[in-house]
Chain A
Amino acid sequence: MKKKLLIICLFALFPFITYAEDMAFFRISVSESFLGLDMKGDDGFDLSASNSLFVDVGYRTSLSSKIALTLFYEASYDGPGAKSNSKEGFQARNIDQFVMAKFDFLYSDSLKFFVRPDFFYEFYRLGKNEAWNDGLYNFGRVGLSGGFDWLFSHQLLNASLDFHYFWFPNYSDLTREALYLTVGSQGLPSDSINQNFLQGAFSLSHRIIFSPLVELKSQYRFTLRYYPSLKVDTQNLVHTDADNQFDTTHFLSLQPIFTLSKEFYIAPTYQFTYFKSNYSYFSVNSFDPFNPDFDFFEDFSSFHSHDFSLPLIYELNPKHSFILEAGIEYKKYLSRPTKKENGKFDLSTKQDLFAFNVGLTWDFKVYDNFTFSVNYLFKQASSNNKDLTAGYNFGVHVISMQMSMEY
């Protein structure tokens, strides 16, 4: 998703480019990553590899002196790499297809409006016998965005509204259906587990150049998701008493950029996320209708998180650049209890997560439009969740190599 945003930004970075010239963009990128995962409680490293492939094609043309059209398509793949960590020979993998058309209306030299319909579909395979079309977690997204870019006195202000519909054509939840049939007093209508949702978002981003050496980028985004069919669970397991699920997210990002010299600059970044959902969770220990054993938790997924990263970018020469990056992440659930070593919930403590990472990237421009990159990342994550099977406490070393050609 990050790469997709980067490409969209590539076009957005030149919002006031002359409308007379057509522009094409083409990029292919392949990468292979090797992971050494050290899960707390396990002996030794679990070695695995992943592989990704991106194909981006974009074209921008002028429909008139005031209107430009940008077409963009991306196909991507993420999945297991050269060395699979699965003895059964299968790891989850996905193919994504993304297409958009962006219409830019140049109102004046400093103000531009845009409308952007887009479509996204993800094929997700979880098992060897699962066909791409039948993936349980396949999903699609279709929608429309609109907004404006306003350029004034060394500042760029962007505001946009997005409306999208997400659908999951194959999703089913047999565990939840079984829970309502065996423990609850009534079954669950199939529509009540339909995960499809509507999403609306408002985004405001601002970039100000204080001096040739200092600038500041900031962004705020509010997202609302409403599930027209999906009911949240209630403790009595009566779906007619339940509300529809809805989620809200507030996201804030601040990134000052300091150019310390011609070759060296730093871009510390702070990101804050506040996620609130009425999703509730049943942890079923026994389906026995005469002696059901389960735990019920309201507000299970709401959290706030703080991420801080400090990338130091050093451009040795036009061919070689290095990025040293360190970051910390902190996430605290508002109501989710943590777990004890035996896997039982500890109701006295809310779950939190802390992670630290450090990485080094070497970008080598073989030619102007052919880049070879090597990246090393170390991440250490810890949580007050003492259940080691939950996978919250680990250290991981990742070495990635990427080749990218673009025009």
Chain B
Amino acid sequence: MLKKVTYFLCLFVFAFSSWGDIKDTAYQMAADFLANPQMFFLDLQYDSENNLPLMQDEDFELHTNLFLHLLTVANLNVKYRFYQGDNKIPSITGGVGGWYFWGLNILPQIETLKEAKDISVFGVAPFVTAHWQVSETTFLFAGTKLSIGRISMDFSKVAQEQIKDKGLKNIVEKVACIKETYVDPAIFVGIAIEKFSLEAGYQFFAQRLFARFLYTGDTWGFGLGFYPDSVIILHPMINLSYRFSL
């Protein structure tokens, strides 16, 4: 238990070191998000998805990142082990993860943003993962996924009529109306040792590397995402999983 507490403390020291700057640079980050919505979409995608193979006995898994729920991003992953491999052929797990940023729908409730329209940010990511058991405690895995996302928001009326603040107006006017769909394939590889796993991948169109360190318990999981090209580079994760067989 003490070991686990030590690991989690290390994770949160990592993670919260990033929060200190957020307040000071909030405007800058907001501008970065708005200027590059695809990066924002991919960050949420990485946080919500779980493309680890099913290495346990059960065939199905439901998974969600509770930390994202706190940030008003509903998310759920479903995965199924299609094939149980043997010494020569790897096991195959497939699944799909989806998320919806419902909290953005509250924005029009704010007086100055009441003219905001068509706010909708969501994504899905189907994936396939193959894994090999290379020793009693170690698994190697590799897979591919397709990140699909939609970002829609129209602040043009807000920018024209409502916003008096010059700084905010400049930011919002620049990207007053976004209606974009993103499709970006990726590959990933990883290694799992006991309940710990480290995974790294490459997003082809965005040309981004990403990595995740995860502890996966029977029900609870904790992790840290490393998204090197992002506005916030370290992302903490608190995961909840339910596994079962039919």
Contact = CB atoms under 8 A, between A and B. Distances in A.
Nearest to A88: B28
B37 to A, nearest CB: 15
A133 B204 CA distance: 12
B134 interface: yes
The 7 A-B pairs with the shortest beta carbon distances in the complex, nearest first, are A82-B18, A405-B198, A405-B191, A28-B198, A132-B207, A55-B200, A82-B17
Given A28-B200, A79-B229, A407 B134 contact: yes
A21 to B, nearest CB: 14
Interface stretch (A264-272, A282-290, A362-370): A362-370
A24 B213 CA distance: 22
B226 A407 contact: no
Given A82-B18, A82-B233, A403-B213, A26 B140 contact: yes
Contacts of A34: 17
A83 interface: yes
Interface string A386-405: 00000000000000010101
16 contacts: A28-B189, A28-B191, A28-B211, A30-B213, A53-B228, A82-B234, A93-B228, A95-B209, A366-B196, A367-B137, A367-B193, A369-B193, A405-B197, A405-B198, A407-B138, A407-B140
Given A89-B29, A123-B207, A405 B193 contact: yes
A123 B17 CA distance: 28
Interface residues of B, number: 37
Contacts of A366: 193, 196
Contacts of A81: 233-234
Contacts of B15: 82
A406 interface: yes
Nearest to B139: A407
B176 interface: no
Given A28-B199, A80-B233, A55 B189 contact: yes
A52 to B, nearest CB: 8
Interface in A86-140: 87-89, 93, 95, 123, 132-133
| A interface SS class | strand
B17 A49 contact: yes
Contacts of B228: 51, 53, 77, 79, 93
Interface string B106-148: 0000000000000000000000000000110110100000000
A407 B197 CA distance: 12
B231 A51 contact: no
A75 interface: yes
A123 B208 CA distance: 11
B219 interface: no
B59 interface: no
Contacts of B140: 26, 407
Contacts of B29: 89
Given A26-B191, A49-B17, A401-B10, A95 B32 contact: no
Interface string A40-54: 000000000101010
Interface string B188-220: 011101101111101000010101010000000
